[in-house]
Structure 1
Amino acid sequence: MIKAVLFDLDGTLLNRDASVELFIDAQYKHLHEYVGHIEKGEFTSRFIELDCRGYVWKDRVYQQLVKEFKIVGLTWEQLLQEYIDYFHQYCVPFPNLHEMLQSLVGQSISLGIISNGKGQFQMANIKALGIEHYFETILISETEGIKKPDPRIFEKALQQLDVPANACLFVGDHPDNDVKASRDVGMLGVWKKDSQWDEVVADYVVKDLMEVCIIIEELLD
């Protein structure tokens, strides 16, 4: 019987692609006097390219942008600090996020998050989505000193929820860090479908978050 569901954050609960576009658009407008010599679409597309969907921290991204676009009067440190301070204001949830979480809690399913990333930054994003109260455990790699796909971070979450691996689903968008890693420790791996990958070996595949509730209902029957 399934007793718990663990989630990745970026690309699973948080629509990071949409959030990044909103933030960069706002940053470009706010700092137009410094970056106005760059076409907005070029600035945005280059940020997204350098960012590699969040797998490159923004210190390197902004250093490269300042160098490539010859930005003066504004340092990469200032750009980075603005990202850290204000990104959470532009967080976009995937559809049906709250409805899914409410449904799972209503079925007495324990919930948790395992996210790679910076501790305070990711917590600010979780709070911006208004979902922190749903989760019994939230593990962020910087805070824990270990990151996915290291099995120890999955095992720690299971210990905190007090459930065995075979009674837990893990839902994530990354084929290796989320799906394969969770399956390797004995969980059922659910792939949140992402157009970046074609085929992923998973126990279940979902496009919409409410499909997680359907999986749970089937497994509880």
Structure 2
Amino acid sequence: MNHTTQPNIKAVLFDWDMTLGAALGNISSVERTAALLRHVGLNYSMEAIEAARAQRQARIEQGQLPGPLAPQTKEGLIVYYQQLLALLDHPQPSADLGEQVYNAYAHLAFVFYPDTLPTFRALAAQGVPLGIITNHSPAIRPVIEAELGAFVSPETILISGELDLYKPEPAIFRQAASRLQIPIEHCLYVGDNLEVDALGAITAGYGLGLWCDRSAQPAPENLPDGVHRITDLEQVIPYVVDGKR
């Protein structure tokens, strides 16, 4: 692998969901949605959920429903669950029910990917300051603190639902760098979403944005300046320890 000099990275921050692991582990997103709805007492088949999701996408693309397709904010996700439940013919897809589903997501058992804890151990052994920035409800905090408290201090776990700031807004990335007391240009952010995570971090001023792409799809030919693609979290380590790619 060719090595090119990178910015002097001194701190690493990570997304949580679908970057470090997944709710209920290695299952499909439809299975996860079905389990989430069951968690709040709503029983729908995966076939019905898949059909409702397809209908929602089609109606958004046709301008019949407000988007976005993949909301990041609490308000957007509540609307998403309301839309989904309406398409599932729920009799009362209220905002209160949508919020109940939104909050329940944090209570699904979280399963780390195999590369997560080895990566955190390696970075912590080098004394690298670590942080988490996640678009999530406040209910996820005790989970993150219980699972990663040995590596990440509570004040460097930034949760959108606590701050009313959401990636890719620059403010949440900048606040995280400030809490770590590291100049923002010496921070690196890792996430599974190219636009929201990697590009969002670069736009906020981070030295690097790493897109953790576990899709097994061919790499795109071009990525924005400052954004690199990795396929395994342990590929983060050389960016910090060696300062090289």
RMSD: 3.6
Give me the whole-angstrom Cα distance separating, in 2, the residues matched to 1:30 and 1:117.
17
Higher helix proportion: 1
Match of 2:199 in 1: 180
Deviation at 1:109, TM superposition (A): 0.3
Q: How far does the alpha carbon of each residue in 1:50-88 deviate from its partner, in whole angstroms, 9 at most, with x for none? A: 794553744323323433232359977457525523643
In the TM superposition, what is the alpha-carbon distance from 1:90 to its structure 2 partner?
3.0
Distance 1:73 1:154 in 2: 37
Task: List alignment gaps of at least 5 residues for structure 1.
Answer: none
Moved more, 139-148 or 21-30: 21-30
Rate the CA distance shift 1:186–1:35 in 2: closer, same or farther, 3 A: closer
Q: Is the 8 A contact 2:133 2:173 kept in 1?
A: yes
What's the counterpart of residue 208 of structure 1? 232
* 1:106-158 CA distance string (max 9 Å, x none): 1100001112233x133255357x12442130112232233323332222222
Q: How do 1:1-221 and structure 2 match up within 5 A?
A: 1-15=8-22, 18=27, 20-27=29-36, 35=43, 39-44=45-50, 46-47=52-53, 52-53=69-70, 55=72, 57-72=76-91, 77-78=96-97, 80-81=99-100, 84-85=103-104, 87-118=106-137, 120-127=138-145, 130-136=147-153, 137-184=156-203, 185-193=205-213, 195=215, 198=220, 199-201=222-224, 202-219=226-243
Question: Structure 2: 5+ residue runs without aligned partners?
Answer: 1-7, 58-67
Q: Work out the CA distance in 1 between the residues paired with 2:30 and 2:50.
A: 7
Counterparts of 1:186 and 1:86, CA distance in 2: 29
State the TM-score, normalized to the length of structure 1: 0.75
| Identical positions, percent | 27
| Distance verdict in 2 for CA 1:158–1:66, change over 3 Å | closer
Letter in 2 for 1:97: T
User: 1:46 is paired with a residue of what secondary structure?
Assistant: helix
Contact 1:175 1:200 in 2 (8 A): no
